[in-house]
């Protein structure tokens, strides 16, 4: 009659054990992945006759083994940052347009379009970049060099084609839908009261956006940017097709020089021997560390943004 709280049923224990097992197994797998990768990378690092962080050569299987990720890491960072610099402002503009400027009915359609474009696989972007972008960017690169060549990053030897700039543009096109889609969601969630309040006080549309939408959506936009940055860092195929695969540290984005970690792995994994594979794994771990660092920084920023908002509301 009175409902007694019983000891846990068998079903409960089994189910709980199953879920716990799954979670624990996941942890074990991730630890195993980390351990295996580190175990493979260490012998390569040890046998490296030069500092693997500062050298640019890539001959891990030679005797003596000389390899280093300097050129690869620099190339990865430059192309990704370039992609962000080009893509993020445009993405935010697109998101603003869809959320606050476009007429309601058309906005939904545009929203779907942007979502669809976020799903296009990277190999298609790479193919498009190879067939369309590389030849056409020649003229743009020449134009940039002609008018802005006094700035070092636009320096050139007169040869244009595959370059870090093309890689940056491809990455910008690839992260644009992602950043735009997430930013759009964030902007749409601006509290309606604040918007109406701003209009009631006589703000123009731009002032309303600046005061309400952008400040409210700051942390959301930051997460979107981080997501885009992560994707740009790890992008393999599209970049492998448009980078000139020359292991040189270069800051001039128009020259046919530069390589990225992921593209290097895709290019040379085939003829890599034991040490070579270890070297590739080491470079992969460095890439992973980069992505991790970016993610953690973003988490910090988002958390702080949340804290500030809570403090302001209190």
Partner 1 sequence: MKLNRFATTACLIAAGAIALSACGSDNNPTSAGSDSTVTSSSGASSSDSTGVTTAAGDPTGSTTSSGTGITCATGTLQLSGSTAQTNAMSEWIKNYQTACPGATINYGGGGSGQGVQNFQDGTVDFAGSDFPLADGDEHDKANQRCAPGTAVDLPMVPGPIAIGYNLPGVKDLNLSASTLAGIFSGKITAWNDDAIKKDNPNVDLPSTKIQTFHRSDGSGTSYNFSNYLANEAKSDWSYGANKAWPAPGGVGEKGTAGIAQGVKSTPGGIGYMELSYATQNSISYAKVGNAGGDFVELTTDNVVKFLSTATVVGQGDDLALKFDYTNTDADAYPNLLVTYEIVCTGGKSSELARDFLSYIVSDEAQNLLPDLGYVKLPSNIQTKVQDTIKGLG
Partner 2 sequence: MTATSLVTPTTSSVHLTLSRRRLPTWSFPVLGVGVVLLTLALFAVTPLQGRADFLVVVVPTYAVVQTAVSRAVEGRRAARDRLATIVVGSCFLVALIPLGGVLGYTVVKGLKRLDYTFLTHSMRNVAEQDAGGGAYHAIVGTVEQVGLAAAIAVPFGLLTAIYLTEYSHGRFGKLVSFFVDVMTGLPSIVAGLFIYALWVLALGQGYSGFAGSLALLLLMIPTVVRSAEEMLKLVPTSLREAAYALGLPQWKTVLRVVLPTALPGIITGVMLAVARVIGETAPLLLTVAFTASINNNPFHGAQAGLPLFIFSEAMLPNDTAIDRAWAGALTLIIIIMVLNLGARLVARLATVRR
Binding site for partner 1 (CB under 8 A): 59, 134-135, 157-159, 161-162, 240, 244-246, 256, 267-268, 270-273
The reply on whether position 37 binds partner 2 by CB under 8 A is: yes
Q: Taking a C-beta distance cutoff of 8 angstroms, is the pair 38, 285 a contact? A: yes
* DSSP-assigned letters across all residues of 267-304: HHSTT--HHHHHHHHHHHHHHHHHHHHHHHHHHHHHHH
* Alpha-carbon distances of 310 from 35, 83, 84, 197, 303, rounded to whole Å: 40, 33, 29, 20, 11
What three-state secondary structure class fits 166?
A: helix
The reply on whether position 162 binds partner 2 by CB under 8 A is: no
- Residue 106 touches which member of partner 1, partner 2, none, C-beta under 5-8 Å by kind: none
Shortest distance (Å) from residue 271 CB to partner 1: 3
Output the six-digit token pair for 278: 């270890």
- Residue 127 touches which member of partner 1, partner 2, none, C-beta under 5-8 Å by kind: partner 2
Residues 169-228 that bind partner 2 (CB under 8 A): 173, 176-177, 180, 204-207, 209
Q: Taking a C-beta distance cutoff of 8 angstroms, is the pair 286, 54 a contact? A: no
* Closest CB to partner 2 among residues 129, 253: 129
* Closest CB to partner 2 among residues 74, 262: 262
Residues 101-120 that bind partner 2 (CB under 8 A): 101, 113-117, 119-120
d(CA 187, CA 182): 9
The reply on whether position 284 binds partner 2 by CB under 8 A is: yes
- Choose, by CB under 8 A, the member of 223, 236, 247, 259 that binds partner 2: 236
């Amino acid at each position: 009659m009175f409902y007694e709280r019983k000891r846990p049923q068998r079903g409960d224990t089994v189910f709980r054990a199953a879920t716990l097992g799954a979670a624990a197994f996941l942890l074990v797998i991730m630890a195993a992945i980390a351990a295996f990768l580190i175990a493979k990378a260490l012998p390569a690092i040890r046998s490296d006759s030069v500092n693997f962080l500062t050298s640019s050569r890539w001959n891990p299987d030679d005797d003596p083994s000389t390899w280093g990720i300097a050129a690869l890491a620099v190339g990865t960072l430059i192309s990704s940052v370039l992609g962000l610099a080009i893509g993020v402002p445009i993405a935010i503009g697109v998101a603003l347009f869809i959320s606050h400027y476009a007429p309601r009915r058309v906005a939904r359609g545009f929203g779907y379009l942007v979502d669809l474009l976020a799903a296009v696989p990277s190999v298609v972007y790479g193919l498009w970049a190879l067939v369309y972008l590389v030849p056409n960017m020649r003229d743009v690169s020449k134009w940039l060099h002609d008018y802005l060549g006094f700035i070092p990053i636009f320096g050139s030897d007169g040869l244009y084609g595959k370059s870090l700039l093309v890689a940056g543009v491809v990455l910008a096109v690839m992260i644009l839908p992602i950043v735009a889609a997430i930013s759009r969601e964030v902007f749409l969630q601006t509290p309606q009261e604040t918007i109406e309040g701003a209009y009631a006080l006589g703000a123009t549309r731009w002032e309303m956006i600046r005061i309400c939408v952008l400040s409210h959506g700051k942390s959301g936009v930051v997460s979107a940017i981080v997501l885009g940055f992560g994707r740009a860092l790890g992008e393999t195929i599209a970049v492998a097709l448009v980078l000139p695969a020359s292991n040189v540290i270069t800051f001039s984005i128009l020259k046919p020089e530069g390589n990225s970690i992921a593209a290097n792995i895709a290019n040379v994994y085939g003829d890599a021997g034991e040490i070579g594979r270890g070297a590739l794994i080491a470079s992969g771990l460095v890439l992973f560390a980069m992505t991790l660092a970016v993610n953690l920084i973003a988490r910090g920023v988002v958390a702080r943004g949340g804290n500030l908002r809570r403090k302001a509301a209190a």
